[in-house]
Structure 1
Amino acid sequence: MSLREMLKGKVSDEELAKVRRSFEIIGDIVITDIPDEILHLKDLIVDAILKKHKHVKTILRKVGEVEGPYRVAKYEVIYGGETETIAKEHGCRFLLDPTKVYYSIKLSGERERIAKLVKPGERVLVMFAGVGPFAIVIAKLAKPSEVVGVELNPAAVEYFRRNVELNKVENVKVYGGDVREIVPKLEGGFDRVLMPSPQIAESFVDVAAMKVKEGGYVHYYTFAGVEEEEELPRKVEELFKAHGVECKAEFMRKCGNFAPYVNRYVVDLKVLRKQPR
């Protein structure tokens, strides 16, 4: 039963139409979006969530979008208080605080998809690695030789290090700092490069192009309007070509939405040739 169905008959039809259909559950924390015009229904919404999900200890209302260099959204506590939790996916556990770091359980399926593409012995780079979900899921589900994760947010870096220990993955290396400063200094190239930050990935194409091996793959994430979808693979190929890397977009899919008619997309790129630099 959805939140709207649970509130039907308790609020007006006009109010009901403004209630968001879904919410995100991270561990024992719920993140919900309650528009200002129906904030007076907050207690009813909290009661409905708790009735359906009795394990929940804290409910956060989203009051600001993901922004800034640390990619963190703004929240207010509308129930409970403790904001640190442990999220579980694919046999992995991730300690985190959504008020301090970015993490979305909605990308769980995408993380599994990428892990299944990783071949034994690959060296993988995860840019904008957050608390380590892509890196650790890959290390757990595949057999890479090494997974390197780079993250700017100090709070996320600390959780990433703790999550490596929590999940007992010895072939994951954590680097705290700016991708642009750290990645060029890493020795050797990578068989696979992940760029899972749609807001800023385009600004770091040159860094990924520098480190991906010929014959390797780049997984490029971006936001785009539905009207751009058809041209998106070609556009991303051109971005890399401008930095001396000839790629072929082998796969593209929608993996979440950002706003009405604007989605998150991933484009899987096979590196065909690299111009000497």
Structure 2
Amino acid sequence: MADVAVLSADAERGLERAEELLDEPQVRSVAVFEPAGVGLDPSRVGVRHVAGDPNLEIAYKEQGLTFRLDLSKRLSRLSRCQGGSSERQRLCQLVAPGERVLVLGSGIGITACLIGAHSPCADVLGVERDPVKNDFASANIQLNKLEGKVRSISRNLLDVADLGLFHRICAFLKFQPVENLKPLISALAPEGTLHFYNHESKEQFRSEPVVMDSFARICGDRSVELTWRGRVPRRSIAPNMYRVGMDLRIA
């Protein structure tokens, strides 16, 4: 992960391995992964410095933008988060001139900033529940000189009623029933697009998406059309399990 090496929690020869890694020219610091239930914040996964430079701040670069994150405060998969870099590039290419874009579960601002920088959108709003990640997002917006076009706020991800209408909503949400997403339909402008992400097995992916009936119910009088469906990323995220993205056009 950039110039900070992160060892697994069960890594054998921990400190010895850390010293070996520091001999690599690209490694300045070594940390160990700590699962939820241990570490400084037992409520979440994290990392703990074990050798080298105690500063665990890293810089991640994508499509000409730079994103900073202090791993001692929050751990993120960065390039693999939010569907991965290929999905972010696809989203940028879909945005039409003048669109308002809402990114839910925006993390440290990667997707929101990339859409703001590489699409003809009018503006992008990122919503992140975690205030620490939101602070990093705001800093990354400023770092990439996107103030005025991209914003990030911290609140419940489904609390969107007072944010206005959006032409496109990217919903990077933890798995939950489709019925919970009804507030997003109200926030979507006519003929807007909802980018929805789900977990499916290989067999489920080969079949018709079972969530379409649920979306039809929460959309009420508004028709819903599936315009795209694909694995993001293409490789599995667990044995026989894929993250599947769906583009839904809501009339």
Q: Does 1:171 align with 2:149?
A: yes
Using the alignment, how far apart are the partners of 1:201 and 1:132 within structure 2? Answer: 25
Using the alignment, how far apart are the partners of 1:48 and 1:239 within structure 2? Answer: 53
1:56 to 27, 32, 51: 27
Q: Is the 8 A contact 2:225 2:249 kept in 1?
A: yes
Task: For residue 151 of structure 1, report the CA deviation from its aligned partner.
Answer: 0.9
2:14 to 37, 42, 51: 42
Q: How is 1:1-277 mapped onto 2 (pairs within 5 angstroms)?
A: 25=1, 27-33=2-8, 36=10, 39-43=11-15, 45-46=17-18, 49-50=21-22, 54-64=25-35, 72-80=44-52, 81-101=54-74, 103=76, 104-106=78-80, 107-169=84-146, 170-181=148-159, 183-187=160-164, 189-200=165-176, 202=178, 204-231=180-207, 234-244=209-219, 245=222, 246-255=224-233, 257-271=236-250, 273=251
Moved over 6 A (4+): none
Q: Which amino acid aligns with 1:242?
A: R
Using the alignment, how far apart are the partners of 1:154 and 1:242 within structure 2? Answer: 33
TM-score normalized by the length of structure 2:
0.81
Structure 1 gaps, min length 5: 1-24, 66-70
Structure with bigger RCO (C-alpha 8 Å, 6+ apart): 2
Task: For residue 202 of structure 1, report the CA deviation from its aligned partner.
Answer: 4.4
Using the alignment, how far apart are the partners of 1:121 and 1:131 within structure 2? Answer: 24
Structure 2 gaps, min length 5: 37-42
Q: Is the 8 A contact 1:126 1:195 kept in 2?
A: yes
| CA deviation map 1:29-70 (0-9, x unaligned) | 233435x3xx32435654665555x232333333327xxxxx
Q: Is the 8 A contact 1:191 1:217 kept in 2?
A: yes
- Give the superposed CA RMSD: 2.7
Using the alignment, how far apart are the partners of 1:180 and 1:192 within structure 2? Answer: 15
More helix by share: 1
Task: For residue 210 of structure 1, report the CA deviation from its aligned partner.
Answer: 1.8
TM-score normalized by the length of structure 1:
0.74
